[in-house]
Chains A and B, each alone.
Chain A
Amino acid sequence: RKEVEQDPGPFNVPEGATVAFNCTYSNSASQSFFWYRQDCRKEPKLLMSVYSSGNEDGRFTAQLNRASQYISLLIRDSKLSDSATYLCVILGGSGNTPLVFGKGTRLSVIA
């Protein structure tokens, strides 16, 4: 089983739609969880951290279910500028350990 699994998509949605991405991870000892965004030909950039209590940042909501080893990202009112690849990312240990990346989910928001 891969360490981090994501549906690669692509997800093609109209502007204004709500879209949800899911991610599962295999290492139950994982300590921190993130969603990164990667635009075409650019480096990954942190979108948001994911907490057990769930967290929201504007149109973006992330949730973590440790029991099911499952992470989600919800994007409401999609914008054209949301088109990117969204990477589910796990930190297995302390901050000085490398990140483990999912293969990413490609989102295209269409006018």
Chain B
Amino acid sequence: SAVISQKPSRDICQRGTSLTIQCQVDSQVTMMFWYRQQPGQSLTLIATANQGSEATYESGFVIDKFPISRPNLTFSTLTVSNMSPEDSSIYLCSAPTETGIQYFGAGTRLSVL
């Protein structure tokens, strides 16, 4: 299994500000993924974080709004920029092990006022 440390666990932010979420994996992984889970909904993929190249974004998500860094094989950040109340959600990172099973960070619960 993989242990993923994600922080912050929760935050309350003002409209127009930005928040950076960090994920640290206890082993080297090729890919890391960032998901959003809105209240009462399932997980929606935001982007795939590749080490050494730009992240790959899913339809409806853009780099200016959700810039991602992947400086090495154990770490990634997701920034939620210029936040609005619609960005209130749970943000989760995940990483696959060699067996293909993906493990998740504990999530960041974001509330935007």
Contact = CB atoms under 8 A, between A and B. Distances in A.
A91 B104 contact: no
B67 interface: no
Contacts of A100: 45
Give the interface residue-count category, chain B.
20 to 34
A101 interface: yes
Nearest to B6: A43
Interface string A18-55: 00000000000000101000000111111001000000
Contact of A44 (B31, B43, B100): B43
Interface string A39-75: 0011111100100000000000000000000000000
A34 B96 CA distance: 13
A98 B48 contact: yes
B104 A103 contact: no
Nearest to A100: B45
Interface stretch (B12-20, B81-89, B105-113): B105-113
Contacts of A107: none
B31 to A, nearest CB: 5
Interface in B29-70: 30-31, 33, 41-43, 45, 48
Contacts of A44: 43, 92, 104
A80 interface: no
A43 B31 contact: no
B30 A96 contact: yes
Contacts of A32: 100
B27 interface: no
